[in-house]
Structure 1
Amino acid sequence: MRILDRNIIKYKFSFLLSCLLLLSGEAFSEQQRVSLRWKPSQGAESYLIELSEDRDFLRVHHFYKTKNFRYEFNSQDSKFYVRVVGINADGGRGVSSPIISLADKFAAAPKVKVERPSTVVASSEELRISLGDPKTSGPSSNTPGSPNSQKQVPVSTYYRVNGGEWQRYDGSISLSQEGWNEVEFYSEDILGNKETPKKTKYLKDTTAPQVRLIGEKKGQSGLIEIKSGAELTLQVTEEGSGMEEITINLAARDGSGAEVNLTLSGEEAKQPIKISSSGIDGLSILRWEANDKAGNYIQSELPLLIDAKHPLCVFAPTEGKLREDGIYYLKENGLIAIRCEDPGTGSGLSKLEYKIGNGSIQSYQNPIGFNTGIHTVTVYTSDRVGNKAELKIKVNAIKPDWQKTGSELQEK
């Protein structure tokens, strides 16, 4: 893609246009196509793609209307100049984009043999295609021996869509049906010379690619919750003109930690897309932008809770204290209480268990009591996405009624 002009007047709507050379056409025929793309304009509900025979646009020859940001032209438009105008919800027009000569673009576009028996056109709720100027299109009465063989006589062009009724062509054809449309057309002059009808196919694609996150569920926070480092999978569905490109970004909302930026096109954009969340923690935003070959565009974002931290625990003796040697000393009837919490941006505590010495693992419910002596306590904890921790403490439970001894004081 080549940027044509960055110095665009900013008033109401502004445009940044670029041209792509795209290849398409009928089976095994040599065809040229030029694609025009512009950046979305704030406030524009739709766009008029206007074509004129003169650079000053003294007269608009015909137009296409679309809600997308890309349009592809066939060689029938190669002689025209083109500009794009944003239209707001009330029908007001913005400032026109820079004017581009399609003749220059088609002159640079290579002709190639293609096998796809179709023409892809950009989506539009009022999609219109042009067969050229109805006053000059079609056959002339240049049949050898004809008295008018050197003259162009008035002609009329007729068309029908998908086998419907024949209609007179007045400069453009409206395609209302989503999907493939077969257009037949022929011209007839006033002398009755009639050409054999020709056929062409157009794909009207008004549906943007569908992108969704699969295999994940919402947690108690109401958000999709995953363990940091786990892979996310985006599934892309595009049943119309085919995927053009998808751009994906995943980053923590506060800007901390790692960030993922990924752009895929062609075949890669059609496959399920794997995204690593390694190095990301806390409330995060998954964003994507995708467009298909017809110019349909979608952007969306999804908040996620990515949890990189295991729960944290504190131990509180009810009758005793932690000595400098790292051992909890308990008085008679003393207990050890365990309190574990997941960090504020975590997924929440899922499991808290313990065992004393080589005993069995038990679920922690209430503060733990101990027999007299020294004990090792192992605590197991995990959060809802699988972050785990194993902690060990030592406890010395002392019985207060030990035997006291002393010495007698003797007189001499």
Structure 2
Amino acid sequence: MALLLLAIAPLPAAAQSIDRQFRTWLETDLWPSAKAQGVTRATFETAFAGIAPNLKLPDLVLPGQKPQTPKMQHQAEFGSPGAYFAENTVRGVTAGGRTRSGTHARTLAALEKTTGVPLGIVLAIWGRESGFGRAKIPYDAFEVLGTKAFLASRKEMFREEVLAALVMAERGRIPPRSMKSSWAGALGQPQFMPTSYLKYAADGDGDGRADIWTSEADTLASIANYLKAHGWVRGRDWGFEVTVPASVSCALEGPDRGKPIAEWARTGVARIGGKSFPAHELKGEGYLMMPAGRNGPAFLVTPNFYVLKDYNESDLYALFVGHAGDRIQYGDRTFSNGWGTVAKLYRSDIAAMQRGLETLGYDVGGADGLPGFRTRRSIGEWQARNGLAPTCFPDAALVKRLR
């Protein structure tokens, strides 16, 4: 173990060399770009005063090294999507959201009137992203963004973000040392990247500035404004839990296979509990979403579900927010259908299966070890073509046959 640590830990001299290269990069590369965007020298120097590369951050490529292709988290276990919905986690967000729905009732009502975004959705995102502002956001944003713009494998993305953070500082939005971020550079209580802050941060308390670090009203207004700007459809729900008969293939899942909700209903897709779909939703587009295939709850989602995915590109994140938002507004209720168990598999197993499907001509959305909707429906299509009942979800036998 000691030898391994010596092999991967930068020596003090190497760290000093990286620091010198970083200062040179700041002066000769980043500063001209910042100046071109209207950042003054005083702002630039204040932002990077005392800042050195943080070599403990993930996803860095040190000078002289080649980017390392991740091993697909080969030993990371693949588990049931249901783990994302642990009841204590959901209850923490919903209970906190209900408390704050009273505290911020006037602000939330005004936001729903101007943006169309329901209060439950706004509160659920706030709770999920930062525990309603209680989560520690300890990093200096310029340390993180500067390090990643200089050393990360996605340098160009982080270069754009650090320049946006400098513009924020120049405009007096927040003093540089008060600009706290996550280890990935996401800012404040709604966890906006700097480019998102410049586009969507909003003043919710009327003081003339958007402070997403300490102002709860600004945080709420910024989240609602983000969703409105990304196309939230006023008056539509995010989605409904449904039952899907065996006659309807789980391979019909996906945002590119939508049809009017009334048409889904005619195929036998029904809301749980015998409820009818709201009349105003029937003509609207709906999309089948089955995050665990036939091994878990199924949903008909609306375009608003995909607006939630714009906030965080994850089916499970969007589903968590929609579900928690409903519970904040309408009371605790769990999914009617439980999540099935998953045999012990690793993400490397899923990635191998995905590569096998790609070899057969299926579009799985990339062999990343995570079964998104393209992978799930590819599984279902392969199963149907091979005389199997489609489940649209990985299992050990399927991995063995396709890897």
TM-score (norm 1): 0.20
More strand as a share of residues:
1
More helix as a share of residues:
2
TM-score (norm 2): 0.21
| Structure number with bigger Rg | 1
Query: Relative CO higher for 1 or 2, CA cutoff 8 Å, sep ≥ 6?
Result: 2
